[in-house]
Chain A
């Protein structure tokens, strides 16, 4: 069974947001990495890029296919997880510890439209 952590916000497209103050750490869920299999490349935006809720901001690639990363919230990229450039497999090892981008949130009200852990776990079961 895939892990689902309490206290995070989840999107239907299997990204999560971990909020710390005015910042959000965005990554893909454990369920998503299980579905993808071996992650071999992460296409990430650059610092200072704007991301918009509902739009692509990059891609996570398994051996077989590329899956778009969809921003669960809007904001400005303040940091990308450069460790993933050389070790994309970290996402398979621990998807929640290995976030992909850190953004300065435009509007924390956007978080209200995302799922909590219980709702997301149910979403994965469905």
Chain B
């Protein structure tokens, strides 16, 4: 099957991006280089094309009750303009996807989902509408999306785009008019830095990208550094730290799973895990040497395989070889010595926090 392209595909080609398939799209992995782009986001400002993300509008008289049923976080009593991170779960507790829920109105919510999961998620949502007066509308084709990220993001959005955003609190959004178009801007991101995500019609997104890039104040950044940035601050990626076989409790995301809600799909399974039934979990591992642990490599202890690497890099910000790994609970305590098998050899490491670099959010 041919990959989809975002509205910015021609811009990526013109900028000489290295393009690879991701989530069913041909996406830019890097322009000037992953290290250069990563550092731009940590120290100044970068702009990402994240138009591949999916958007699903849930509306109707029972919209809130329905979202509460399929989503692990608790949105009851939320004000319009608030955003929640959480998951949709299978009854087993495994993750259908992780997502953001934007409260647009009392009876309308925008769900932002992973590109690779759009078809699966929409089908899942539609299968679970019975008993709810609700409409589930996949609007993914209607939106382009930019992420402007980094300590200078607020200044860049306000000064280059003339789009006021300083009043937005972390995990809130507003709908507004900009450059003659209705748009949505939120203080969210996936880098561990302050930043904004801007949703709008494809033509608007292309014009806005051009203004940001032409200003020289937002470096074009690809999915390569998006992954190294999110990894360093311990944020999960569906397919690595989360999957249909990995629950959010195992992934350390219990904070976003409100088992005090009376009902949501998967609640029984995750409640049992919260109450002490956890047999494995995602940990951080720091290696003593420079060899780089990668997704799928075995984690060993005393000659036995006790887990598997979910994401690993030589951290660009710290230079250390680090990974997240799903390991048996007996080997998950901070400070536990473990080994990772890399190119047939075992390399020593120790269990650490998953956060290898401190987040720098503006709350």
- Chain A contact residues, CB within 8 Å of chain B: 37-38, 40-41, 43, 58-59, 61-66, 85
Contacts and interface: CB of A to CB of B under 8 A. Distances in A.
B147 to A, nearest CB: 19
B224 A64 contact: yes
B313 A43 contact: no
A43 to B, nearest CB: 5
Nearest to A92: B33
Q: Which of A63, A65, A66 has the most CB of B within 10 A?
A: A63
Contact of B30 (A37, A43, A59, A66): A37
A59 B344 CA distance: 11
A43 B342 contact: yes
22 contacts: A37-B33, A37-B34, A38-B33, A38-B35, A40-B292, A40-B314, A41-B290, A41-B291, A41-B292, A41-B314, A41-B321, A43-B291, A59-B343, A61-B292, A61-B314, A63-B34, A63-B314, A63-B316, A64-B34, A65-B294, A66-B294, A85-B290
Contacts, number: 37
Contact of B343 (A40, A43, A63, A65): A43
Interface residues of A, dominant DSSP: strand
A38 B290 contact: no
Interface string B9-39: 0000000001000000000011001110000
Contact of B35 (A58, A59, A63, A85): A63
B208 interface: no
Nearest to A38: B35
Nearest to B20: A64
Contacts of A58: 343
Closest 7 pairs between A and B when the two form their complex, measured CB to CB? A63-B34, A40-B314, A43-B343, A38-B35, A61-B292, A41-B292, A41-B290
A9 B70 CA distance: 60
Interface bin, chain B: 10 to 19
B292 A66 contact: yes
Q: Which of B35, B316, B321 has the most CB of A within 10 A?
A: B35
Nearest to A86: B290
A40 B350 CA distance: 21
B228 interface: yes
Contacts of B316: 63
A61 B313 CA distance: 10
Contacts of A63: 34-35, 224, 228, 313-314, 316
Contacts of A62: 34
A106 to B, nearest CB: 22
Nearest to A89: B35
Given A43-B342, A64-B29, A65-B294, 18 more contacts: A37-B18, A37-B30, A37-B33, A37-B34, A40-B292, A40-B314, A41-B292, A41-B314, A41-B321, A58-B343, A61-B292, A61-B314, A62-B34, A63-B34, A63-B313, A64-B34, A64-B224, A66-B292
B228 to A, nearest CB: 6
B291 A38 contact: no
Contacts of B321: 41
B182 to A, nearest CB: 37
